[in-house]
A and B are shown apart, each in its own frame.
Chain A
């Protein structure tokens, strides 16, 4: 049996993950959700809790580059893996192309859905650098903007795609 399988009865566990490029460790309850680990244990409040029922996508983060809804992932389940939150998008050179796109194209109104939107968009462009409008809408269909600002969100992603093309 592995060591984990022998830890009978424990309700907490030590967790080590990489968040935005930095190794982080903490003793956490098994039942702690990833979103609460990020917000409360690490103080990274850029990841929002929206619906809390896997519907809205406000809590979207990247798990090894893949967007997931962090309200529906256990913190202990991501041991050893890499998480990217909105705090990790900007580089030394300033805003990422996606962040710049949301800024330039007014891709946010109240801003609540924005971190999730930007992470889902970042994952889309990493995989498909030149998406059609339909592909953008499809990729973001798990993220809800309750201000209904979708037109400008799509434009923001198109801006980012163009910017990344220019830079490459």
Chain B
């Protein structure tokens, strides 16, 4: 399979990339890792007139602490996250998600920011980063804007990004020292999309929950936040009853559909079980910190 013909640009700066996006509008696509875009182009689901390759832009490939946030640059690959010490402990929801994405070879190229911009409802990063309360920084002709992930995802493969904007960084607020989380994914085999994924991220304050983030993969038209479950946890102690109640609420928040990967009932049940397991692990990490 071959992509349709396109013009190719490899700008050396974000400003140049934006100038190209201004020239081509929604006829341009940005290329980062290409592990979703190139298959789409081969299948002719995407046939951009111009491809703007971000890989020659320097300074977008770092993971680091920045102003109370963990900042993940637009060219950070899944593999970088899998290996990063910074994504363990209180950022465990991210460190646990990374090695479960696709397969080890795809992870060498695919990027975190690209995954968010692609907005596949079966994408793992969307849930892990929603749970962690992340936002993206998008740069366009008018400057930089912050987009909360909840506002970024509109529906399947659609986001609130303008055609002239480039996501330059994904930023996760520091949850404080007593925090933990994990990502649980059910997949039929390595490299498959999630049947169900659940991301859990909890921060504690004097033994009670300061903030809880729970987000669900592949059980809705986009990565979903289980808000009622998050609210039930806020201010609570993470005991068995609270955890079980939150897991029930998360299962209710899911919007699964029956398909070849499982029935809707089955998927909803997996959400419940994974939320419960995830909260127990998150509590363990947060309390041990």
Residues of A within 8 A of B (CB): 1-2, 4-5, 7-11, 13, 29-33, 36, 52-55, 57, 60, 66-69, 72-74, 76-77, 79, 120, 138-139, 141-143
Q: Which of A4, A54, A141, A142 has the most CB of B within 10 A?
A: A54
A74 and B38 contacting across the interface, CB-CB below 8 Å: yes
A79 and B10 contacting across the interface, CB-CB below 8 Å: yes
CB distance from B214 to the nearest CB of A (A): 28
Complex Cα spacing A139 to B103, Å: 9
Complex Cα spacing A29 to B7, Å: 9
Interface string of B109-142 (1 = CB under 8 A from A): 1000000000000000000000000000000000
CB pairs A–B below 8 angstroms (17 shown)? A1-B16, A2-B10, A2-B16, A4-B8, A5-B20, A30-B6, A31-B41, A36-B2, A54-B38, A57-B105, A69-B106, A72-B38, A73-B109, A74-B38, A139-B104, A142-B190, A143-B105
Chain B residue numbers with a CB within 8 Å of A74 are 8, 31, 34, 38, 51, 53
Complex Cα spacing A132 to B16, Å: 46
Chain A residue numbers with a CB within 8 Å of B146 are none
A11 and B103 contacting across the interface, CB-CB below 8 Å: no
Q: A9-B7, A143-B105 are in contact. Are A77 and B16 (CB under 8 A)?
A: no
Judged by a CB distance under 8 angstroms, whether B12 is at the interface is: yes
CB distance from A120 to the nearest CB of B (A): 7
Q: A77-B31, A141-B104, A141-B190 are in contact. Are A4 and B10 (CB under 8 A)?
A: yes
User: Lowest 4 CB-CB distances: which A-B pairs, in order?
Assistant: A142-B103, A142-B105, A30-B8, A141-B190
Q: Which of B8, B38, B42, B191 has the most CB of A within 10 A?
A: B8
A54 and B39 contacting across the interface, CB-CB below 8 Å: yes
